[in-house]
Homo-oligomer: A and B are copies of this chain.
C-alpha cells in the first residue's frame, strides 16, 4: 500500500458512529518503548535505524496491519507528510524526523503505529463517534500482539516507562473530537472548557496542541496516565463526554427555540457561500462546513449527507488538496481548488437550496 492509496477513500473514523452529531471520533494511543534500548531522542541515527528495521519488520507483518502502509518518514515527500498529519496518522513531531522513524497504518486507518517518534512505539486506534471502550480494545489487541514479539520497558511500580514523564504509567492518552457549534453560537463554550480543564482534562483545537478552535471542533483528552487503569480512563472520559454531549444538545434546542432566525440565517449563509464562492481559505471552509453540519443535524438542510460534510472537512485541508491535485499548490491556488471542490460536492449531493 502507498500513501496515495489512503487518499481514495475516507478513513473508517469518518463513518457513522454513536452520538456522531457531536462526537466526530474517538482515539486512544499507547506510548511504548523497548526494554534496555535508548529512547529515540537519546539514540543516534544508527540505533534508531536498527530499531526501525526490527520493529517495522515485525509490525508490517502482523495480521492487524498487513497490506497496510509501512513507510519510513524519509521516504515520504513533504506534501504527503502534511496529508498524513491532516489525517491524524502522524504527529507534528514525526513530520520533522527523517531516517530511522516511520509509520505503519492499517488500510482502513483504524490502527496506526508511529515508530521512533518521542517513544519507540506510539500505537493508535481511531474510530467514528463516541466509542472509547471499543477503541481501547482495538489498540489493546494490537499492543498484545506487539508485546508478544518484543520486551517493553516496564516497571512493576510505575508501569510503562516513556521518554516524557507525563506519559509514564499507562502510557495512554484517550481523546475525542467534539463538534460544538450549539455551545459556540450560544456563547457557552468557555465555561465548558474551564470545567473540563478543572477536572484534569486537556482541551485543544482540531489539529492538537497549540491550535485554535476552528470549525467549532474541540479535542478533549486525559492528562493523567499514572495510577489509573486504562479502562478507568476510558470510562471516566466517556462519562464526562456524555455530559458535554447533553450540554451541546441542550444548546442546540435553545438555539432552535430562542434564536431560530439567527440559526437559519447562519446555516443558510454557510450553504450559500460554500455553494457559490470561488476562493475559500482553510479556516473559512472549516467554519462554514461546521455551519452545514449543524444545519444537517437540526434538519434545516435536508439534502446534504453529513458524511459529505465530514469528508470535505478533511479533503479541503492543504495537504489533501495538494495530494488530490498531484502537485504543490500555492495558497491562492488552494483557495480556488478548495472552493471548486466544495461547490462540486455540494451540487452533486443535492439539487435543492437551503432556502425556505
Interface residues on A, range: 20 to 34
A39 at the interface (CB under 8 A from B): no
Q: In the docked arrangement, what's the CA distance between A236 and B263, Å?
A: 52
Q: Which of A267-287 contact B (CB under 8 A)?
A: 268-269, 271-279
Q: In the docked arrangement, what's the CA distance between A353 and B278, Å?
A: 13
| Residue in A276, A332, A343 with the greatest tally of chain B CB atoms within 10 Å | A276
When distances are taken between beta carbons in the complex, the residues of chain B under 8 Å from A276 are 268-269, 271-272, 275, 353-355
Identical chains in the assembly: 2
When distances are taken between beta carbons in the complex, the residues of chain B under 8 Å from A262 are 279
When distances are taken between beta carbons in the complex, the residues of chain B under 8 Å from A45 are none
A261 at the interface (CB under 8 A from B): yes
Q: In the docked arrangement, what's the CA distance between A10 and B307, Å?
A: 46
When distances are taken between beta carbons in the complex, the residues of chain B under 8 Å from A353 are 275-276, 347
When distances are taken between beta carbons in the complex, the residues of chain B under 8 Å from A339 are 265
A347 nearest CB neighbor, chain B only = B355
Judging by beta carbons under 8 Å apart, are B355 and A261 in contact? no
A264 at the interface (CB under 8 A from B): yes
User: A118: shortest Cβ distance to chain B, in Å?
Assistant: 42
A93 at the interface (CB under 8 A from B): no
Judging by beta carbons under 8 Å apart, are B277 and A269 in contact? yes
When distances are taken between beta carbons in the complex, the residues of chain B under 8 Å from A99 are none
A333 nearest CB neighbor, chain B only = B261
A280 nearest CB neighbor, chain B only = B265
A336 is contacted by which of B261, B275, B344 (Cβ under 8 Å)? B261
User: A212: shortest Cβ distance to chain B, in Å?
Assistant: 24
A190 at the interface (CB under 8 A from B): no
User: A185: shortest Cβ distance to chain B, in Å?
Assistant: 14
Q: In the docked arrangement, what's the CA distance between A261 and B343, Å?
A: 15
A257 at the interface (CB under 8 A from B): no
Q: A261-B279, A262-B279, A268-B276 are in contact. List 5 more A-B contacts (CB 8 A).
A: A265-B278, A268-B277, A269-B276, A269-B277, A272-B275
7 contacts between A and B (CB under 8 A): A262-B279, A265-B278, A269-B272, A271-B272, A272-B273, A272-B276, A275-B353
